Amino acid sequence: PSELEESLLVLPLHYVVDLLKLCDEWLSSRRDVELCCRCVFFLLRVHHNQIVANKVLVTVIEDLNRKTRDVIREVKDMVGFNMAALKFLQLDCQESSESFFSDFSGKIKDIRKEKESSFKNGGMSCVVGIFEF
C-alpha cells in the first residue's frame, strides 16, 4: 500500500468523517480532484459499514457520489481534449520535420555536386559524404 493508504488506515473514524466533508468541499471547488477521489474511494472501501451506519454522513456520501461522477467526467473530457491536441501537434511536427529534412537533403546534394565538380577540376579537397577533408 502507498503512504497515503497507510495514513488513511490509521485515521480514527471521527477524522474520517471530517476528511470526507473536506473532500466534498474540495470537489465542489475542483481542487486536487485525483487526490480527493483516491481518499474518498479508499475510505469508503475500508470504513464502509461505519460510514453507512452514520446518519450524518448519508447526505455527504450522496453529495460525494454526485460530485465525483461530475468531476471525473470533466477531468476525463479534459484529458481527451488534451490527447487530441497532442496528436494534432504530433502530426503537425511530423509534417514540418519532413519538409525540413527534404529541404536539407536537397542542400546536401547541391553541396556534394559542387565539391565533386571542384575536385574534378583540379581542386585538392577530398569529399567523403558531406564532410570535407
pLDDT one-digit tens code per residue, 22-63: 999 999 998 889 999 999 999 999 999 988 888 888 888 999
* 51 and 88 Cβ atoms separated by less than 8 Å: no
* Predicted local confidence at residue 130, as pLDDT: 47
Angular region, 122: left φ>0, alpha ψ -120 to 50, beta rest? left
pLDDT one-digit tens code per residue, 60-77: 899 999 999 999 999 999
* 84 and 91 Cβ atoms separated by less than 8 Å: no
> In the structure, what pLDDT confidence band is assigned to residue 99 with cuts at 50, 70 and 90?
low
What's the rounded mean pLDDT across residues 71-92? 92
Could you tell me the three cell numbers for 100?
525540413
pTM: 0.62
Q: Which residue has the higher pLDDT, 127 or 16?
A: 16
